[in-house]
Copies of this chain bind each other. A is one copy, B any other.
Amino acid sequence: MTVDLTNVFQQIDGDYENLKELLREAVAIQSVSGDPSKRDETIRMVHWMKEKLEAIGTVCELADLGTQELEGKTVKLPPVLLGTLGTDKNKKTLLVYGHLDVQPAAKSDGWDTEPFELVEKDGKLFGRGSSDDKGPVLCWLHAIRAAQKNNIELPVNVKFCFEGMEESGSVGLPELLEREKDRFLAGVDFVCISDSYWLGTKKPCLTYGLRGICSFFVEVTGIKQDLHSGVFGGVIHEPLQDLMWVMAQLTTVDNRIKIPGLYDQVAPLSAAEEKTYDDIEFDVAEFRDSVGAAHLPTEDKKTLLLRRWREPSLAFHGIEGAFYGPGEKTVIPSKVIGKFSIRIVPDMEPEEVNRRTVEYLNKVWAERGSPNIFKPRPGHSAKPWVVDVNDSNFLAGARAMKRVHGVEPDRIREGCSIPITLTFQELTGKSVLLLPLGAADDMAHSQNEKNNKWNYVEGVKTLLAYIMELGSA
Contact = CB atoms under 8 A, between A and B. Distances in A.
Interface of A: 211, 213, 215, 222-225, 227-238, 240-242, 244-245, 247-248, 251, 253-255, 290-298, 304, 307-308, 311-320, 322-326, 328-334, 339, 341, 343, 368-373, 379-380, 414-417, 445-446
B324 A379 contact: no
B315 A225 contact: no
B224 A292 contact: yes
A123 B237 CA distance: 34
A308 B328 CA distance: 21
A142 B331 CA distance: 35
A234 B312 contact: yes
A33 to B, nearest CB: 16
Nearest to A305: B235
B229 A341 contact: yes
B320 A333 contact: no
Contacts of A295: 237, 371
Contacts of A416: 228, 230-231
Nearest to A326: B320
Contacts of A236: 255, 291, 293, 296-297
A230 B324 contact: no
A231 B317 contact: no
A205 to B, nearest CB: 14
Nearest to A417: B230
Contact of A293 (B222, B231, B248): B222
Contacts of A211: 230
B341 A330 contact: yes
Contact of A223 (B292, B341, B414): B292
Nearest to A303: B235
Nearest to A241: B316
Contact of A230 (B245, B331, B415): B415
B240 A316 contact: yes
Contacts of A248: 241, 244-245, 248
A239 to B, nearest CB: 9
A437 to B, nearest CB: 17
Nearest to A246: B248
B415 A315 contact: no
A279 to B, nearest CB: 20
A340 to B, nearest CB: 9
Contact of A317 (B242, B292, B330, B334): B330
9 contacts: A224-B292, A236-B255, A236-B291, A236-B296, A237-B297, A241-B248, A317-B328, A323-B339, A330-B341
B255 A235 contact: yes
Closest 9 CB pairs of A and B: A230-B416, A234-B313, A224-B292, A318-B323, A318-B322, A233-B313, A229-B315, A324-B324, A295-B371
A157 to B, nearest CB: 33
B324 A320 contact: yes
Nearest to A250: B241
A128 B215 CA distance: 42
Contacts of A332: 315-317
B254 A230 contact: no
A307 B230 contact: no
Nearest to A226: B446
A133 to B, nearest CB: 15
A231 B322 contact: no
A315 B233 contact: yes
Contacts of A380: 328
A251 B313 CA distance: 28
Nearest to A334: B292
Contacts of A234: 255, 297, 307-308, 311-315, 343, 415
B370 A253 contact: yes
Contacts of A253: 237, 241-242, 245, 368-370
A228 B291 CA distance: 11
